[in-house]
Amino acid sequence: MPVDGSGAGSGDLEILVEGGRVTSSVRSLGGQRFRAAFTPHQALPHRVDIKFNGETVPGSPWHVSIMPPLEGAGAVSVLGESTRLVPAHRPAVFEIVCNSPSIAGTPPDVRVTAPGGKRVAKGQPRVTTARPGVWRVEFVPTEVGTHLIEVEAGGEKLPCGPLVAKVYDAGLIQVADVAGGVVGQPVQFRVDASQAGEGQLEISINEGEVPNHVQVVGGGRCLVSFTPDQAKPHLIDIKFNGETVRGCPFVCTVTDTSRVTLSLSHLELIPVNQPSSFHMGVAGGGAAELAVAVRGPVGELPVKVTGGIHSGFTAEFTPVQVGAHQITVDYNGRPVQGTPFIAKAFDSNKVTVGTVAKGTVGRPVTFSVDASEAGEGNLEITISARGMNIPTQVHPQGNARFAVSFVPIEACDHVVNVAFNKRPVVGCPLIVGVGGGGTGPTVTLPGPGPIHKPSTLLVNHPGRLEDIEVNVEGHRRYVY
């Protein structure tokens, strides 16, 4: 008869038939549902009492009417179910009823065939008298799988055919990948029952308080997942055909990594050979186990952690090579959100500026910049004359190499500045001299002119107006 306790919570189910004088059994169907059974030996009403956690279940006791055997029933029959789940290495017991007085006193002939087709070990099964007219058949299976029990008494066989014992072994169930978890994030582990035989698998987390989902992946294997909502140890209990699996309960330590706050955005680009640091805060105080690791291009870097649980912690490290540095922070053994974080180390000293030749007004001046060994970052190139920036063209050549050109418009020193990630490149600023060309300044005069009227001259000079000085000499000398 079915018993549904899914709405009653976790607890112990107790079933008594005739005050315990008649043997009963309970098989778990999963989800706090059960199937109870008993085998009556007399055609009399049987009283069934059911209690849950010591309390009488409403409606209990029940009285079950038992009918006598039907006329014409076979001379040999079995009490109870003819197909049963049987644990390995424990006695499997069937009771055989010899209904005919002519064969009731003679033990039946019993043969047990194991899954491989071989007969069971010598000396098994044992056939003994249970009570008048009823024989007890007992054997101890050692192999997982279906065992066939053939019974014959006085030339009569069981009408139902051979009895079937489906042997299982809960000790062969393997549980793997039970690790720690994080609040709000799914936790997964694997259960392998492929070698355990046929049966019902029952899984509960914290005595059923935390729901779990089972995904069957085939071959008796499944993937179990649950999402913890509290930072506390979660106990995983697994039963197979009502038997607790070896190693249970498995403990999953759950951590709330949202308590940890990190400040890492300023570490996207970091200079080599200079200390870099970041702050870690743990909300709520209490015990905290923080583990910080920084892995550079060729291995781990030393990390110095200072501070305390109340003021927070500071982690400091010094990159020594250009390239990606992976920063990981674990809280109680679990990665903190936002990690691993990739910090990119650069070296502005590895940027080289090619030779810049003297220039001429109106003619392009070209030089090269090589940042291929400097790492990732932003290259800034500015060229100025007399404090004013002039247009500059930068032509990528591939692999962080560039050709830079500008056209001077004044015959004066030009200043070249190159910075990488806002850090000056070695050798900068560069001073580039610029001349006015091979012809120099020219003056065009209009010739003789009348007195008391303006006279003009044309000066062709590429420089600034402030650089021109004009002297006019006649009877008197004037300076403009």
Q: Quick check: is 86 in a domain?
A: yes
411 and 457 part of one domain: no
Among 415, 405, 416, 412, CA closest to 435? 412
d(CA 264, CA 278): 6
Q: Quick check: is 406 in a domain?
A: yes
Place of tokens 């032509």: 395
Q: How many domains does one find in the chain? A: 6
174 and 209 part of one domain: yes
Among 55, 58, 59, 45, CA closest to 17? 45
Structural domain span for residue 398: 348-435
Sheet of 352-353, strands arranged across: 352-353, 365-370, 401-406, 393-398
| The last residue of a domain, from among 255, 278, 313 | 255
* Contact (CB, 8 A) for 441 and 435: no
Model pLDDT, residue 325: 96
* Contact (CB, 8 A) for 131 and 41: yes
189 and 148 part of one domain: no
What is this structure's pTM?
0.53
Report the Cα 325 to chain-centroid distance in Å: 21
117 and 137 part of one domain: yes
Q: Quick check: is 356 in a domain?
A: yes
| The last residue of a domain, from among 139, 168, 197 | 168
DSSP assignment of 361-430: TTS-EEEEEE-TTS-S--EEEEEEETTEE---EEEEEETTEEEEEE---SSS-EEEEEEETTEEPTTPSE
Model pLDDT, residue 118: 82
46 and 87 part of one domain: no
Pairing of strands 269-271, 341-346: parallel
Model pLDDT, residue 285: 59
85 and 162 part of one domain: yes
Q: Quick check: is 262 in a domain?
A: yes
429 and 361 part of one domain: yes
Please provide the distance, in angstroms rounded to a whole number, between the alpha carbons at the two ends of the chain: 123
161 and 198 part of one domain: no
Contacts of 352 (CB under 8 A, 6+ apart): 369, 370, 425, 426
Among 360, 335, 371, 470, CA closest to 414? 360
288 and 304 part of one domain: yes
Q: Quick check: is 370 in a domain?
A: yes
The token duo for 449 is 């002119």
d(CA 263, CA 333): 20
Q: Quick check: is 283 in a domain?
A: yes
Model pLDDT, residue 132: 84
* Contact (CB, 8 A) for 333 and 345: no
Chunked into runs of 10 residues, the chain (480 residues) has average pLDDT values of 80 81 76 78 80 86 74 68 88 86 79 85 81 88 91 82 91 92 90 92 91 90 93 92 92 85 91 94 72 93 90 92 94 84 95 91 92 93 91 92 92 93 91 76 68 79 73 61
284 and 303 part of one domain: yes
Q: Quick check: is 71 in a domain?
A: no
| The last residue of a domain, from among 137, 168, 199 | 168
CATH of residue 262: 2.60.40.10
Q: Quick check: is 148 in a domain?
A: yes
156 and 182 part of one domain: no
Pairing of strands 234-240, 250-252: antiparallel
* Contact (CB, 8 A) for 98 and 108: yes
365 and 411 part of one domain: yes
